[in-house]
């Protein structure tokens, strides 16, 4: 009876202490991001700690009342297993709380001048860290619980093995992210390279990152085999023979990889270049060992490297060329005056797209009823179609205002290619 009274008397005071501890933990770091996890942790501890006290009361009471030894033994085992499970679940809750707290502190004190500036790049590992720690706690809890039950205690020997595997997987992911981050820090430094070098580094970065990823995957697999005391040498030999057999049958894959190496190391094109490959125009968004990715505006093209045949690289500039057929009765000086105004207006409207202002190339031809004048505007790669259309409209409107009759034949010249004729219908 005395134990029962003591138990009922102590529980309210314990609950008050838990509530005070919860509020103190919320306020100690002045971070609100972890308040929800702290609340869940202490509420879980409160309810289960009360249950633990009552189970302890039953166990002690059974011992005082001289219950059979078997009952007392299993009551003690039940109490121990329950305590282990509760502690494990508490660690699981605390895991979330601690990680959220560290996450908040890191974001609070990180800036561009210290090493914590890299934290934002690594913060995507937080969900994985939570899951790995959670699984590790579950396995440790199950291992300690099973060890208390005699007839299944042998299964507890596998617990440390699974813990090692979780640790290996998590560390491999961390090493992979750090490797990618270091590559980006080294290859994509600001201010110490020209545009071409930076573009080349952006091209090779995905390749290096892929190599790091697959090397880490390979090392992770070897480490897991060693964890189970399995010699990987025979397995690697078998995999090598199997890979050779598959490689002989997968000629297209080998052709893609070989072509990818030639594209990368002979600089046919780089990420960010505007190219024409097999009749497809667009910006190169990615070069991998098997494929090349091209963004063609409203479409994304994926071309196997072995299929890359005809390559035209327009990475330097593109020229929008407009050919004007001017009647002989129109004064050339008037045409020059109108085109100067058009060129200035075009440059004002599209300063980011135009490399060199619109110029008149001179008289190209003296025909029977007209002379042919070439108008050239150098624009950034990929902007030629837009500028060419806008320029055609602006020329027509400007010549209509000046009461000059003309016939327009438009061309688009890409780098050093021959002009491609594009005929624009007169605007009405």
Helices 195-227, 251-265: axis angle to 10 degrees equals: 140
pTM for this prediction: 0.55
Q: Are 272 and 286 in contact (CB under 8 A)?
A: no
Q: Please report, rounded to a whole number, the percentage of residues in the chain having pLDDT higher than 90.
A: 4
Answer for the pair 373, 363: CB distance below 8 angstroms, yes or no: yes
Distance CA 274, CA 313 (A): 6
Give CA–CA dist 179/209, Å, rounded: 8
Q: What is the predicted pLDDT for the residue at 165?
A: 92
Q: What single DSSP character describes residue 331?
A: -
How confident is the model at residue 422, as a pLDDT?
37
pLDDT digit string, tens, across residues 271-313: 888 888 888 888 888 887 788 889 887 788 999 988 988 888 8
CB 294 within 8 A of CB 272: no
SS3 content of the chain, % helix, strand, coil (to 5): 65, 15, 20
E strand spans, 298-339: 300-304, 311-313, 318-327
Burial (0-12, 13-18, 19+ Cβ within 10 Å), 46:
middle
Residues of the chain with CATH 2.30.30.60: 259-313
Q: Does domain 259-313 have CATH number 3.50.50.60?
A: no
Of 38, 48, 64, whose CA–CA distance to 15 is shortest?
Answer: 48
Q: Please count the other Cβ atoms lying within 10 Å of the Cβ belonging to residue 187.
A: 18
Cβ-Cβ contacts under 8 Å for 414 (sequence gap 6 or more) = 276, 312, 314, 318, 319, 384, 420
As a whole number of angstroms, the distance between CA 318 and CA 354 comes to 10
If you compute the radius of gyration of the chain from its CA atoms, what whole number of angstroms results?
Answer: 37
At 164 the pLDDT is 92
Residue 342: pLDDT over 50: yes
How is domain 318-422 classified at the CATH fold level? Alpha-Beta Plaits (3.30.70)
Q: Tell me the mean pLDDT in the region 228-246.
A: 72
Residues in Cβ contact with 75 at an 8 Å cutoff, skipping those fewer than 6 apart: 58, 59, 62
Choose the most confident range, by mean pLDDT, from 35-39, 368-372, 416-420: 368-372
Where does CATH 3.30.70.100 sit in the chain?
318-422
């Amino acid at each position: 009876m005395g134990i029962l009274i003591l138990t009922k008397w102590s529980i309210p005071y314990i609950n008050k202490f838990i509530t005070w501890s919860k509020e103190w933990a919320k306020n100690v770091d002045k971070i609100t991001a972890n308040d929800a996890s702290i609340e869940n942790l202490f509420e879980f501890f409160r309810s289960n700690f009360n249950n633990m006290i009552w189970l302890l009361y039953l166990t002690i009471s059974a011992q005082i009342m001289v219950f059979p030894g078997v009952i007392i033994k299993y009551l003690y085992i039940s109490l121990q297993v329950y305590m282990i499970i509760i502690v494990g679940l508490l660690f699981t809750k605390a895991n979330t709380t601690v990680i959220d707290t560290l996450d908040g502190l890191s974001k609070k004190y990180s800036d561009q001048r210290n090493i914590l500036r890299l934290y934002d790049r690594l913060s995507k590992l937080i969900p994985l860290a939570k899951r790995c720690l959670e699984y590790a706690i579950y396995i440790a809890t199950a291992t300690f619980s099973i060890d208390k039950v005699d007839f299944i205690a042998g299964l507890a020997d596998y617990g440390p093995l699974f813990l090692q595997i979780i640790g290996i997987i998590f560390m491999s992911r961390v090493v992979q992210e750090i490797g990618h981050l270091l590559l980006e820090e080294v290859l994509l430094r600001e201010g110490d390279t020209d545009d071409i070098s930076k573009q080349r580094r952006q091209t090779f970065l995905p390749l290096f990152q892929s190599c790091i990823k697959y090397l880490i995957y390979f090392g992770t697999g070897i480490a897991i085999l060693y964890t189970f005391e399995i010699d990987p040498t025979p397995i690697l030999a078998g995999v090598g023979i199997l890979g050779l057999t598959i490689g002989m049958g997968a000629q297209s894959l080998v052709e893609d990889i070989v072509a990818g190496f030639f594209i990368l190391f002979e600089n046919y094109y780089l990420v960010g270049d505007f190219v024409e490959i097999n009749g497809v125009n667009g910006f190169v968004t990615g070069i991998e060992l098997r494929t090349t990715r091209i963004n063609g505006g409203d479409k994304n093209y994926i071309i196997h490297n072995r299929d890359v045949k005809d390559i035209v690289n327009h990475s330097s500039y593109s020229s929008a060329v407009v050919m004007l057929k001017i009647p002989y009765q129109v004064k050339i000086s008037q045409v020059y005056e109108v085109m100067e105004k058009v060129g200035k207006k075009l440059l004002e409207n599209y300063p980011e797209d135009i490399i060199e202002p619109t110029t008149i190339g001179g008289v190209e031809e003296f025909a029977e009823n007209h002379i042919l004048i070439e108008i050239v505007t150098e624009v950034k790669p990929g902007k030629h179609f837009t500028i060419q259309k806008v320029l055609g409209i602006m020329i027509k409107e400007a010549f209509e205002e000046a009461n000059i009759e003309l016939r327009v034949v438009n061309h688009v010249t890409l780098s050093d290619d021959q002009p491609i004729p594009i005929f624009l219908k007169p605007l009405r």
